[in-house]
Amino acid sequence: GVMENLGLGPEVLLQENPRLIYARLTGFGQKGKYAKHAGHDINFLSLSGVLSKLGRKDENPYAPINLLADFAGGGVMCAMGIVTALYERTKSGKGQVIDASMVKGVAYLSSFLWKSQHLEFWKRPRGENLLDGGAPFYDTYKTSDGKFMAVGAIEPQFYEQLIKGLGLDSDGLPSQWSFSDWPKMKKKFASVFAQKTQAEWCSIFDHTDACVTPVLSFDGVASHEHNKERRSFIKNDQEEISPRPAPHLSRTPAVPSLKRDPFIGEHTEEILLEYGFIKQEITKLYQNKVIEFRKPEANL
């Protein structure tokens, strides 16, 4: 209802321009019991059902920071809706309103979980399945220098290379898919990984298809050989590192700015003046807390 309070709801603006695509991104959606309630990623995730699937065995469900509902189920799904509406407009010539709810968005994002829940690899309690930390060959393990390796050796040919790289004899081990032996195998893998540093394990697995990779920290991710070759990260004029825009488009690749990120409100007045607002109007908007100003401090 915020935009309606400003007299800028979709009904008003679509009358002015029927081709307008009006995106509304909210947590709980435009209608429903919780529509007017406050919430955060963890709340949207819980209401979608997805949170119940996340977390270790015998522990509380665990929200992965705020990436799933806010950014994936919210921002990305909303952007996808805008692109879809833009494409549809090329045929109909009409705009439309997009109701992007983070609850519905992250629920739809989890369609794989819904469609596969009756398959064998989801039939155990949370934390005991193939992809949720139950399998010894799909987990992370601590190395002797306190770092970690990620293991995703699901297919038998990859699992075979994992066992070989760990220096174990497959003939003396239980079957990969012996679920009752998974806890024991996780302990065995953990004890082996703890005997070498992350760098030593990389030297063993880097040239194999064992699906074993280092868990890189933000401090080291940009300097990793693969990421350097792919130019996956950029450095701005303040020496701050951030991801390069993705995906890469062959003909019109993104050209990222190498300047520091602007402060919230840094260019508010400048942009409004460009669009024809006068000083008095801008001052009134600021007094009514519709806009925000923040000027960078001089470096003296």
103-123 core/surface letters (b: 16 or more CB in 10 A; e: else): bbbbbebbeeeeeeeeeebee
Contact 57, 125 (CB under 8 A): yes
Known active-site residue 70: yes
The torsion defined by the Cα of 13, 17, 19 and 24, in degrees rounded to 10, comes to -10
Which of 219, 209, 80 lies closest to 155 in space, CA to CA? 209
- Rounded to the nearest 5 percent, the helix, strand and coil shares of the chain are 40, 10, 50
User: How many helices and strands (H and E) does the chain possess?
Assistant: 12, 7
State the angle between helix axes of 102-109 and 77-92 in degrees (0 to 180), rounded to the nearest 10: 90
- Separation between Cα atoms, residue 64 and residue 67, nearest integer Å: 7
CA-to-CA distance for 148 and 146, rounded, in angstroms? Answer: 7
Single-letter amino acid, residue 115: K
CA distance 115 to 107: 12
Name the catalytic one among 40, 209, 248, 261.
40
Cα of 189 vs its chain's centroid, Å: 28
Does residue 287 sit in helix, strand or coil?
helix
118 catalytic? Reply is no
Furthest-apart CA pair in the chain: how many Å? Answer: 81
Q: Of 41, 70, 132, 139, which residue is the catalytic one?
A: 70
> Between the CA atoms of 206, 212, 218 and 223, what dihedral angle is there, to the nearest 10 degrees?
10
Catalytic residues, which ones? Answer: 40, 70
